[in-house]
Amino acid sequence: MTIKINDLRDNEGARKDRMRVGRGIGSGKGKTAARGQKGQKSRSGVSIDGFAGGQMPLHMRMPKRGFNNPFGKDYAIVNVGAVQKAIDEKKLDAKKDLDHAALKAAGLARGGKDGVRLLGKGEIKAKAKFVVAGASKGAIEAVEKAGGSVEVLKSASPAEKAEAKKGKGGKAKKADA
């Protein structure tokens, strides 16, 4: 017997329709619609999962793990091997400066609101000038070995940012006086 695609069916009983509640006394799930009577759980829009009757819930008793650094930087990570591949595929022009915008346009830098960090995985043969927020020693060595250069942009440290903020606040106070 050959099976045709238009003859395919689920096995009998494999799919069961959901129970439609609140559809009259004859349905067996009418009146209270299987919710019982009264109380918070019989109402709609109730979300008390994890509530332990006033006792501290289990998920709040478990210890927290890890740490989210509020001062952490978000860099797009790009390897020199991926840059070489993009240059070979003519997605990047090695004669122009390779900065965040150029790498993003080529599809190499994803995200990275604080810039690009260049890493040394892979090999680069093209002579190129990189303008990035950070670079590893290996990446700098690989680029310079190929005859290129890496310019690392200086970002303000949290202490410098605080100092700049104080300076702005001081000027504002003098202007008011």
Whether 109 maps to a domain, the answer reads yes
What is the residue range of 120's domain?
Answer: 76-152
Whether 112 maps to a domain, the answer reads yes
Whether 82 maps to a domain, the answer reads yes
Whether 134 maps to a domain, the answer reads yes
Whether 88 maps to a domain, the answer reads yes
pLDDT given for residue 171 in this prediction: 52
Convert the pLDDT of each residue in 81-124 to its tens digit. Answer: 999 999 998 888 888 888 899 988 988 888 888 999 999 898 99
Most confident listed range (39-43, 152-156, 160-164, 171-175): 39-43
Contact 100, 152 (CB under 8 A): no
- Per-chain mean pLDDT for the chain: 86
pLDDT given for residue 54 in this prediction: 86
> pLDDT above 90 covers what percent of the chain?
41
Residue 72 has pLDDT above 60, yes or no: yes
Give how many domains the chain has, as a whole number: 1
Question: The CATH number of the domain where 109 resides is what?
Answer: 3.100.10.10
Whether 167 maps to a domain, the answer reads no
Whether 91 maps to a domain, the answer reads yes
Residue 58 has pLDDT above 70, yes or no: yes
Residue 19 has pLDDT above 90, yes or no: yes
Whether 86 maps to a domain, the answer reads yes
pLDDT given for residue 177 in this prediction: 47
